């Protein structure tokens, strides 16, 4: 609905300018009033069309960047989890993923999901993940309202992520830790797939 309201002035100025231009061409030599007024009206319509279009584009661009910043703030809250998992599955001669990749690249999450399904995590990694869950849980809960600003689907995914972090923070056995960890990654992959 919002896009249609933004496109309405563009349509009015565009159709008005085209209509006045056709009127100018069909009656160009009838009188001096039309010769002086119609070009001015056509110029006004063209200016309105380009100015409204330009301001609409700038507003949409600003809105996209604001939503992208909100998304990045949510994703960066989970950097510790992804970092611990990345290090746990790291080959001896491989480089760990960069901070930027951990915070913004969806392929990292899908890669970790695949590795988690194929391998078993060590006890030290599980302890580190539980500690990360305990320290991240209050921040993740506070960020629910940020996720709600993106969309209802983003908020639902984030609530499921917070629930998985909560379960991981109280886990006492390997099974209790691996189930919410897998759920966290699945929900994070779903969160990444949603449009901004």
Higher pLDDT pick, 10 / 167 = 167
Give yes or no for residue 176 having a pLDDT over 70.
yes
Q: pLDDT (tens digit, 9 = 90+) per residue, 80-108? A: 888 988 888 887 888 888 888 888 888 88
Mean pLDDT of 23-28: 63
Residues 6+ apart with CB under 8 A from 7: 56
Burial (Cβ within 10 Å: 0-12, 13-18, ≥19) of residue 136: buried
Q: Of 123, 129, 116, nearest to 165 (Cα)?
A: 129
Can you say how many angstroms the Cα of residue 140 is from the centroid of all Cα atoms in its chain? 17
pLDDT tens-digit readout, 142-161: 999 999 999 999 999 999 99
Asked whether the predicted pLDDT for residue 135 surpasses 70, the reply is yes
Residue 161's alpha-carbon distances to 31, 51, 144, 185, in angstroms, are 72, 43, 10, 8
Q: Provide the residue ranges of all domains of the chain, joining segments of one domain with +.
A: 2-64, 77-193
**Mean of the per-residue pLDDT values of the chain:** 83
**How many other β-carbons are positioned within 10 Å of the β-carbon of residue 55?**
12
The confidence band for 6, taking pLDDT boundaries of 50, 70 and 90, is low
What percentage of the chain carries pLDDT values higher than 90? Answer: 34
The number of CA neighbours under 13 Å toward the Cβ of 177 is 23
Higher per-residue confidence, 159 vs 25? 159
The H-or-E segment that residue 2 falls in is: helix 2-26
Q: Give mean pLDDT, residues 20-28.
A: 65
């Amino acid at each position: 609905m919002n896009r249609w309201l933004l496109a309405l002035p563009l349509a009015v100025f565009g159709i008005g300018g085209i209509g006045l231009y056709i009127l100018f061409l069909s009656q160009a030599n009838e009188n001096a009033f039309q010769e002086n007024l119609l070009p001015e009206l056509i110029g006004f319509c063209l200016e309105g069309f380009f100015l409204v279009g330009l301001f609409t584009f700038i507003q949409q661009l600003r809105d996209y960047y604001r939503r992208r910043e909100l998304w990045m703030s949510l994703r960066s809250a989970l950097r510790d989890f992804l970092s611990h998992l990345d290090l746990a599955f790291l080959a001896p001669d491989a480089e760990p993923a960069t901070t930027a990749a951990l915070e913004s690249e969806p392929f990292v999450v899908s890669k970790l999901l695949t590795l988690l399904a194929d391998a078993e995590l060590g006890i030290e990694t599980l302890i580190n993940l539980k500690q990360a869950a305990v320290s991240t849980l209050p921040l993740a809960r506070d960020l629910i309202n940020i996720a709600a600003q993106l969309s209802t689907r983003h908020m639902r995914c984030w609530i499921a992520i917070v629930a998985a972090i909560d379960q991981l923070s109280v886990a006492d056995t390997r099974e209790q830790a691996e189930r919410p960890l897998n759920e966290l990654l699945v929900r994070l992959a779903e969160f990444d797939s949603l449009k901004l």
